[in-house]
Structure 1
């Protein structure tokens, strides 16, 4: 950033009050929201009319029937419409049509109250399911409410309010206290705390100052910030999250697809069996038509798979919602389902198990040289390079408070390093491979054996080694290493406690990989890998162990992420390609959360199984009771629809 290229305006009182959208207040659970749901209002209205009709029956049968008809219409209209649309468009029967048919059948033989009760409880369970799904999705898609619409752009010292899509990389923006940050960028001037919960799931605000990275959709705290835009709006991290949310709402797990297919066939079987029950008993068993029709209606109610249909999605969406609140975004329930079966978690090394930023671990000065002076000279030359190793040397010098020198005639040496003149003296920094040349080729390399021995020792520790040359003489040696993430060892240990094997895939050489493996405790190590090699190893792990989760952050990880059962990308430092391909995104890059996410996925699958077993058991018991003992229609209604409500509530336990 060029400090001279931006003119910051003087903020007047009028400008401080300029119109700018403010960050919305945090959304809290409000019981009134349930009552505002239109399906819930219709269900409750139907129930109220049913009670009034029942009371009115003691003094006016006609009025009672009219009120029952209105109750049927209010509670059953939405479901009847859905059922008819399925029948007309897809030529299939569904649960909605079965329930409406059962209610109308009950009414046709004079059981108006039982039919109304069926409509009421069926509408209530449907409204509850709809509400819970809506609530679960809101925990993810509430991010949409944080999408900024306008920004204050500074142009020639003036502040102008512009639409977000008019922003360009390099624009300077003002974000006042309490406002949404409108674009990804870096802090040009100012200091404040920023609430990043919408992006990373962090509960506490993060301090930001000059040079800090900020993200669109996060909320500025107590101080004004001047921000330089670094990413176009359509490519911002926030926009990527929105696309992930849209994908999550459309992808359905395999188990739900199976239930849908079974439901279509099952509904036809139930209708066929009901017709048989209506027609045959009067002919074969000498039953009365009214008794036969009543028993058939009870069968139609209790045999419908309402609870079974509701066994999966509420639990899935609840788990996805809970994960989203912790900064973990699933792109669909199918990935949650797959993650529950995880046998192996494979990590990329750089930027995943490690910080991805090399640090100077050793700076050794040769005989006759002052260490601080050498480090200052090295940093002065390296400051002209954008290579990560060069930046590490500069950081080291700055941390030690060393004064950098001016450099003349600096140039890169292709395939080796960089050189430059400092105070009229030529210095060169580059790969230590120079030590491997024959002595005749570099006769001035003094103490070659000493430096070779030292390099061997450092490389055995997994470090990358560079040489600092004073002309042709070795003046010093620099060792750098990527540091292990603080939570890496804990993350690996938590996964292993779940019975999951942990693998590391890296393009680094074996010595470096082994050092990181020892520090983190991973079970399997694969080194010296090209991107296609990572794919090969992921395939092999899937064949040997089963379901594999791949965790990565770079472009080179994208093929492996796509090959794994579940690809998990790092949200903060991950490349665009990795985020696009990943099935799950760790928005806060906290790899410790992987184990808890797998545990949550397993819990959701246990709840789904509980729901399905419970639903099938209730249906079976009610059907057998209807044939063996005979049960009253109201009892069948309460038993069947009550089980549906219990299944939905069981799925909602994951939201706690």
Structure 2
């Protein structure tokens, strides 16, 4: 049976969007992209899509190339989505396109189709040619040494040409110490000292490593892109009774669209059909179809399971649930983990230092101790290759990219490496109650009118004051009045009393809804306390300071709340409830879950509580409402429920798009696994280099094993990071 899910307060804000596949290396063809500027306070903002990036290090090379342009104020390349964003004080589009092309990459418009993928044969032709030449050279060497040496020289030059050309491009664009530069220097140096076979072998192993690295990076990116083929390019729009097939980008709020059975929604829409089931698994990770009723909002990318449906478009172009997650994924690249930023800075110093050390190894022993020149130059070249920081540089971003992709595949969006690193350190979780631990759909369960007011009048006045509010309790009161078909009077001058209640003028008289803190009637107060002891939330309604009665509402725990809390305990994470509800209602929920609680908190009280708790240990705040946003911001990490308000979702560092609390434990497990993976990758990268450094200086290993230490370590750390995509505990 399909699971019926109540309409969220706002549409699900996080979904998945398809990323374009990686293209082959760029050519010298001029890029004719049409990047459209967006006005930005710091300057004009331009954006393109980049083709030809094989790893996160490529993104840094593109950034370095663009930074050379004087008018550029800010540049960011999101490797996951292949998007380049530039903020500049003047129109720099042509300069940016030229700089990126000179660095060896291609740009294209965001709205343009990706270039056609090259055939496997054409894509691997340089590598296959080098393998054939290497085999031919080795064969000639067996029969005729001079011919063999000449063949190895030709093989080296053929393999060196594209690598050296790219090295020169990168030097011109500001990347002086790229791996291509180190390989070119090592290969040319090996030719000069007569190590022709090893020079050719170095280039062959490097090209094999590059292909393996590109494949691994492509697979890591597919871990995200598999979630993202959700929004169709065209839509069927109904206009004056006629069906029109139009580009999805032409849809505007108010348009009526038709989606056939098995079709995907091109934009966020409000269902006009009586009811329908939608498969939202690609957006939220929820395996069962979700049944929506007429008037409920359905996110772009959802699939109509069994029938033709009509919907009214409610999202503007570029602002659907799918578009929002694409933007958030791009922003996540800016929030790099501290360890990633450290490794990046370290590598910028490390590489020139290694080149200097390699030079000293090559010249000092012959100059100071009369050692043979060729032997020590050979060792210096090997050290140059061993010292290449590629494996170290990608050790962290490879793991983080895989971790973020694995989380997104299972309905959790983590906004960047910094948030992922913080998540792994969490030892406490503070929960809001309504809409977080509970379903967020309370119902009116009791009405207690006073002073001659009827139940209908009490409920109608409460609904008048609460109309238009997004708070779950307010919506419950309005829905109950509508269910009873009451005539709800018009309210004016509605004013929220933050953390205390709400008031408005109805028929010229001030009506207030508030907590029952100041009740003076002993009998009524005893009744309220009894209701609160059963987990009910009681609201007092007053008109011109005259008590008109109370309304009792009750919410239910989420089905997975107990399981989620138990999982957190096994991870050594303690939980506490922070709520503005009354202590007795909070105690009822906390008792079921075995949690501590603090009740009757105003938003500022929640902030103080969060700050105090965070001083003891890293703390995550989980909430869904506007009143939770300040506390989420004050916590070590803010986590929003996917059905929460825009403010909560924007403030949060992570979000559970499927609204399942069990996702908390899964996110923490994944974050900790990612941390372990990063440590393993750094150990692999540095460990292999350390071993081969010693063996090279002792004369045990040579050039081809040195390059194997670098490319092999790069492939190993990437493959190790890919294991995160296959984790089954998500």
Q: TM-score, normalised by structure 2?
A: 0.72
2:437 corresponds to 1:353: yes
Deviation of 1:377 after TM superposition, in Å, equals 8.0
| Residue among 320, 326, 329 paired with 1:242 | 326
Alignment-derived partner of residue 588 in structure 1:
658
- Give 2:109's aligned residue: none
**Equivalent in the alignment of 1:566:** 637
Deviation at 1:642, TM superposition (A): 2.4
1:302 aligns with 2:386: yes
Find the aligned partners of 2:132 and 2:317 in 1 and give their Cα distance.
50
Instruction: Determine the structure 2 residue equivalent to 1:486.
Output: 559
- Partners of 1:164 and 1:200 lie apart in 2 by 22
Contact 1:493–1:521 (CA under 8 A) maintained in structure 2 = no
1:456 aligns with 2:540: no
Q: 2:588 aligns with which of 495, 515, 521?
A: 515
Given that 1:152 and 1:173 are in contact with CA atoms closer than 8 Å, whether structure 2 keeps it comes out as: yes
Moved more, 580-589 or 87-96: 87-96
Verify the 8 A CA contact 1:462 1:481 in the aligned structure 2.
Answer: yes
Contact map agreement 1:98 1:267 (CA 8 A) in 2: no
**Equivalent in the alignment of 2:408:** 324
1:612 matches 2:696: no
CA deviation after TM superposition for structure 1 residue 35, in Å: 8.2
Shift of 1:142: 4.8
Match of residue 57 from structure 2: none
Alignment of 1:218-297 (within 5 A): 218-297=302-381
Q: How many residues align?
A: 601
Q: Is the 8 A contact 2:279 2:305 kept in 1?
A: yes
Shift of residue 175, structure 1, vs aligned partner: 0.8
Say yes or no: does 1:542 pair with 2:542.
no
User: Relative to structure 2, which stretch is displaced further, 642-651 or 157-166?
Assistant: 157-166
Which residue among 282, 289, 295 is the counterpart of 1:198? Answer: 282
Aligned residue for 1:504, secondary structure, equals strand
Residue deviations 1:220-277 (CA, integer Å, cap 9, x gap):
2231001123333443322211111222344432222222222222222222222222
**Cα-to-partner distance string for 1:21-48 (whole Å, 9 max, x where unaligned):** xx99xx9xxxxx9985987664455444
Does the 8 A contact of 1:35 with 1:41 survive in 2? Answer: no
Mapping 1:176-195, distance limit 5 Å: 176-189=260-273, 191-195=275-279
Deviation at residue 61 of structure 1 after TM alignment: 6.5
| Inter-partner Cα distance in structure 2 for 1:411 and 1:36 | 68
Query: C-alpha distance in 2, partners of 1:474/1:286?
Result: 102
**1:606, distance to aligned residue in structure 2 (A):** 0.8
Tell me, yes or no, if the aligned pair for 1:359 and 1:483 is still in contact at 8 Å. no
Once residues 422 and 264 of structure 2 are traced to their aligned partners in structure 1, the CA distance between those partners, rounded to angstroms, is 36
Deviates more, 1:34-43 or 1:238-247: 34-43
- Distance in 2, matches of 1:47 and 1:196, equals 48
Q: Say whether the 8 Å CA contact 1:278–1:292 is kept in structure 2.
A: yes
Supply the distance in 2 between the matched residues of 1:150 and 1:459 (Cα, whole angstroms): 53
Deviation at 1:215, TM superposition (A): 0.9
SS at match of 1:568: strand
Q: Is the alpha carbon distance of 1:381 and 1:564 closer, same or farther for their aligned partners in structure 2, counting shifts above 3 Å? A: closer
Give matches, 1:40-119, under 5 Å: 42-43=126-127, 45-58=129-142, 68=152, 72=156, 80-81=164-165, 83-90=167-174, 92-119=176-203
CA contact (8 A) 1:567 1:581 kept: yes
Tell me the secondary structure at the aligned position of residue 444 of structure 2: strand
Larger radius of gyration: 1
Secondary structure of the corresponding residue to residue 290 of structure 1: helix
Aligned equivalent of 2:702, options 629, 632, 656: 632
CA distance in 2 between partners of 1:53 and 1:119 (Å): 14
Aligned to 2:626: 555
Is this contact kept in 2: 1:383–1:394, CA < 8 A?
Answer: yes
- Residue 152, structure 1, aligned to residue 236, structure 2: yes
The match for 1:505 is 578
Q: Rate the CA distance shift 1:168–1:621 in 2: closer, same or farther, 3 A.
A: closer
- 597-606 vs 347-356, greater mean Cα deviation: 347-356
Determine helix, strand or coil for the equivalent of 1:311. helix
| DSSP 3-state at the match of 1:480 | strand
Distance (Å, rounded) in 2 between the aligned partners of 1:264 and 1:39: 31
For residue 695 of structure 2, give the secondary structure of its aligned residue in structure 1.
Answer: helix
The alpha-carbon deviation at position 407 of structure 1 amounts to: 4.5
Structure 1 portions without partners, runs of 5+: 1-22, 28-32, 421-427, 438-447
User: Relative to structure 1, is the Cα distance of residues 309 and 346 closer, same or farther in structure 2, using a 3 angstrom cutoff?
Assistant: same
Deviation at 1:477, TM superposition (A): 6.0
Q: Is the 8 A contact 1:508 1:529 kept in 2?
A: no
2: distance between equivalents of 1:104 and 1:349? 67
Contact 1:510 1:528 (C-alpha < 8 Å) held by counterparts: no
Do 2:516 and 2:538's aligned partners in 1 also have CA atoms closer than 8 Å? no
Change (3 A) 1:72 1:332: farther
Q: What's the TM-score, normalizing by structure 1?
A: 0.79
Q: Measured at CA, do residues 335 and 37 of structure 1 come closer, stay the same or move farther in structure 2, by a change above 3 Å?
A: farther
Residues in 2 aligned to 1:169 and 1:540: alpha-carbon distance in whole angstroms? 45
Moved more, 327-336 or 49-58: 49-58
The Cα of 1:593 is off from its aligned counterpart by 0.8
Distance, in Å, in 2 between the alignment partners of 1:329 and 1:452 is 45
Aligned equivalents of 2:329, 2:691: Cα separation in 1: 40
Structure 1 residues 355-397: Cα deviation after superposition (integer angstroms, max 9, x where no partner) = 222223446799x99xxxx878877787776365465367669
Going from structure 1 to structure 2, the CA distance change for 1:378 and 1:67 (only over 3 Å counts) comes to farther
- The answer to whether the 8 A contact 2:621-2:638 is kept is yes
Q: Give the structure with the larger helix fraction.
A: 1
Q: Distance in 2 between matches of 1:495 and 1:266?
A: 40
